[in-house]
Amino acid sequence: MLESVKHVILILSGKGGVGKSTVSTQLALTLKEKDFKVGLLDIDLCGPSIPYLLQLEGKDVHQADGGWVPVYTDNDQKLAVMSIGFLLNNRNNAIVWRGPKKTAMVRQFLTDVCWGDLDYLLIDTPPGTSDEHISVMESLRGIKCDGAIIVTTPQQVSTEDVRKEITFCKKTGIPVLGLIENMSGFVCPSCTECTNIFSKGGGEALAELAQVPFLGVLPIDPRVGTLLGKACVKELPDSPSAKTFNEIAQKITT
């Protein structure tokens, strides 16, 4: 099912709560705005937030002869989405599965979804280096994976965990496309001044230490948080986040 996908990119982080799913959705929307055909696969089985972030809750996936048909965000079918959230009857339902069942579900997502012709498939993963990640690696054998974008916040408690994710990539042969420092400062919605309520520069320092490319910083911006299903590069073109997402898209598409 991935033979017609030109580029596969993993979005990883060794730490939970770093905004990885928000980065994944906004990057997918940015690529869509640049006229690419994009797929977004959410394999965070226990915390599927992609349907909410794209305002797709309540949508259903359909079974076709070739497999599952993903949910599309637009009539032009420029952004296709698959998540276990579409398979749950209630958003309050919990996934209480052991490793083998989670592994089987991830493999099914990677082999039984009719993505069609895509320029980019972004895979949003759960934090850590466990069952889901190993299943992805095994399922992508024989399929060219461009590499991984790693997300961290600037605090040391985050960068210490994310460093392990970089080690995971190196051990499994996944190229690291770069590292993003998310939640780097707070943008006031009234005056747009950026204040460093957390530390700053931890992600950039980690990238230098690990000798991986640094893709840029993303501040906490309440305006971006309200853009459910909308691209910040279109709705807030002058914002720091839009500038960074445009730069990231430029780096990974050239």
- For the annotated binding site for ATP, the residues are 14-21
Among 169, 247, 158, 182, residue whose Cα is nearest residue 211: 169
Q: Hey, what's the torsion of the CAs at 248, 214, 83, 75, to 10 degrees?
A: 0
Instruction: Report CA-CA distances (Å) from 186 to 109, 159, 182, 219.
Output: 36, 19, 11, 6
Q: Which of 204, 223, 205, 170 is nearest to 22 (CA)?
A: 223
**CA–CA distance, 189 with 75 (Å, rounded to integer):** 32
Kindly state the DSSP code that residue 84 receives in the 8-state scheme.
Answer: G
Read off the DSSP letter of residue 211.
T
Quick one: DSSP state of residue 128? S
How many CB atoms lie under 10 A from the CB of residue 167?
A: 13
Binding-site entries: 14-21, 188, 191
Helices in the chain by DSSP H: which ranges? 20-33, 50-53, 99-111, 131-139, 156-172, 202-210, 222-225, 232-235, 240-253
CB 212 within 8 A of CB 181: no
Written as six digits, the tokens of 126 are: 């759960």
Q: Which residues are annotated as a binding site for [4Fe-4S] cluster?
A: 188, 191
